[in-house]
Amino acid sequence: MSRKRNYLNNRDLLEEIIKSKEQGELTPKALKMLMMLAERSSNKLVYNNPDDKKDCIAYAYMDLYRYWKNFNPDRSDNAFAYFTEVAKRGFAKGWNALHPKKYAGTVSLSGATDNNDGIYSI
Protein backbone atom coordinates (compact mmCIF):
# COMPACT_ATOMS: atom_id res chain seq x y z
CA MET A 1 0.00 0.00 0.00
CA SER A 2 1.45 3.38 -0.97
CA ARG A 3 1.40 6.26 1.42
CA LYS A 4 -0.50 9.37 0.38
CA ARG A 5 1.85 12.32 -0.12
CA ASN A 6 0.80 15.67 1.30
CA TYR A 7 0.55 18.61 -1.06
CA LEU A 8 3.35 20.33 0.88
CA ASN A 9 6.02 18.54 2.84
CA ASN A 10 7.32 20.27 5.98
CA ARG A 11 10.90 19.17 5.34
CA ASP A 12 10.88 20.59 1.78
CA LEU A 13 9.36 23.85 2.98
CA LEU A 14 11.90 24.12 5.80
CA GLU A 15 14.80 23.58 3.37
CA GLU A 16 13.51 26.29 1.03
CA ILE A 17 12.96 28.76 3.85
CA ILE A 18 16.51 28.14 5.13
CA LYS A 19 17.85 28.72 1.60
CA SER A 20 15.75 31.88 1.37
CA LYS A 21 17.04 33.19 4.70
CA GLU A 22 20.63 32.58 3.54
CA GLN A 23 19.95 34.51 0.31
CA GLY A 24 17.99 37.26 2.04
CA GLU A 25 14.97 36.77 -0.24
CA LEU A 26 12.41 34.10 -0.94
CA THR A 27 13.42 31.58 -3.54
CA PRO A 28 10.88 31.13 -6.34
CA LYS A 29 10.20 27.62 -5.02
CA ALA A 30 9.60 28.90 -1.47
CA LEU A 31 7.27 31.60 -2.78
CA LYS A 32 5.32 29.01 -4.75
CA MET A 33 5.09 26.79 -1.65
CA LEU A 34 3.79 29.63 0.53
CA MET A 35 1.22 30.62 -2.07
CA MET A 36 0.07 26.98 -2.34
CA LEU A 37 -0.19 26.80 1.46
CA ALA A 38 -2.42 29.90 1.52
CA GLU A 39 -4.63 28.65 -1.29
CA ARG A 40 -5.09 25.21 0.23
CA SER A 41 -5.65 26.62 3.72
CA SER A 42 -8.40 28.88 2.36
CA ASN A 43 -10.39 25.80 1.31
CA LYS A 44 -11.03 25.05 4.99
CA LEU A 45 -12.94 28.34 5.31
CA VAL A 46 -16.39 29.14 3.96
CA TYR A 47 -17.07 32.31 2.01
CA ASN A 48 -20.43 33.34 0.62
CA ASN A 49 -18.77 35.70 -1.83
CA PRO A 50 -15.92 34.37 -4.05
CA ASP A 51 -14.39 37.86 -4.12
CA ASP A 52 -14.10 37.80 -0.32
CA LYS A 53 -12.16 34.54 -0.60
CA LYS A 54 -9.78 36.05 -3.16
CA ASP A 55 -9.27 39.14 -1.02
CA CYS A 56 -8.59 37.08 2.11
CA ILE A 57 -6.09 34.93 0.20
CA ALA A 58 -4.38 38.15 -0.91
CA TYR A 59 -4.10 39.25 2.74
CA ALA A 60 -2.63 35.84 3.59
CA TYR A 61 -0.10 36.21 0.75
CA MET A 62 0.83 39.63 2.04
CA ASP A 63 1.36 38.39 5.60
CA LEU A 64 3.33 35.36 4.45
CA TYR A 65 5.60 37.60 2.42
CA ARG A 66 5.86 40.16 5.21
CA TYR A 67 6.67 37.70 8.01
CA TRP A 68 8.59 34.87 6.34
CA LYS A 69 11.90 36.19 7.70
CA ASN A 70 10.59 35.91 11.27
CA PHE A 71 10.62 32.11 11.11
CA ASN A 72 13.54 30.86 13.19
CA PRO A 73 14.63 27.32 12.23
CA ASP A 74 16.84 27.20 15.35
CA ARG A 75 13.76 27.44 17.59
CA SER A 76 11.44 25.19 15.59
CA ASP A 77 11.73 22.90 12.61
CA ASN A 78 7.98 23.00 11.92
CA ALA A 79 7.85 25.57 9.13
CA PHE A 80 4.50 24.23 7.95
CA ALA A 81 2.78 25.00 11.27
CA TYR A 82 4.38 28.46 11.50
CA PHE A 83 3.36 29.52 8.00
CA THR A 84 -0.11 28.01 8.32
CA GLU A 85 -0.66 30.19 11.39
CA VAL A 86 0.65 33.27 9.55
CA ALA A 87 -1.77 32.53 6.69
CA LYS A 88 -4.70 32.04 9.10
CA ARG A 89 -3.99 35.40 10.70
CA GLY A 90 -3.82 36.93 7.23
CA PHE A 91 -7.26 35.51 6.42
CA ALA A 92 -8.60 37.03 9.63
CA LYS A 93 -7.07 40.43 8.83
CA GLY A 94 -8.64 40.30 5.39
CA TRP A 95 -12.04 39.31 6.73
CA ASN A 96 -11.97 42.06 9.37
CA ALA A 97 -10.97 44.63 6.74
CA LEU A 98 -13.82 43.53 4.47
CA HIS A 99 -16.40 43.16 7.25
CA PRO A 100 -15.57 45.61 10.06
CA LYS A 101 -19.00 45.10 11.66
CA LYS A 102 -17.44 42.99 14.38
CA TYR A 103 -17.11 45.98 16.69
CA ALA A 104 -20.22 47.88 15.54
CA GLY A 105 -22.26 49.01 18.51
CA THR A 106 -19.42 48.67 20.96
CA VAL A 107 -17.89 51.55 22.85
CA SER A 108 -14.21 52.36 23.11
CA LEU A 109 -12.89 52.94 26.60
CA SER A 110 -9.49 54.01 25.31
CA GLY A 111 -10.43 57.10 23.31
CA ALA A 112 -11.38 60.59 24.39
CA THR A 113 -14.45 62.45 23.15
CA ASP A 114 -14.27 64.66 20.05
CA ASN A 115 -13.27 67.78 21.98
CA ASN A 116 -10.16 66.00 23.36
CA ASP A 117 -10.74 67.31 26.88
CA GLY A 118 -9.60 64.03 28.40
CA ILE A 119 -13.08 62.71 29.16
CA TYR A 120 -13.46 59.15 27.91
CA SER A 121 -16.48 58.04 25.97
CA ILE A 122 -18.63 55.35 27.52
Cα gap 31→64, rounded to integer Å: 9
Note the helical H segments in the chain.
10-23, 28-42, 50-67, 79-98
Reported pTM: 0.76
**Mean pLDDT, the chain, as a whole number?**
85
Q: Are 41 and 92 in contact (CB under 8 A)?
A: no
Q: Are 90 and 62 in contact (CB under 8 A)?
A: yes
Question: What are 51-85's pLDDT values in tens digits?
Answer: 999 999 999 999 999 999 999 999 999 999 999 99
82 Cα distance to chain centroid: 10
Question: What are 76-114's pLDDT values in tens digits?
Answer: 999 999 999 999 999 999 998 998 875 666 655 555 445
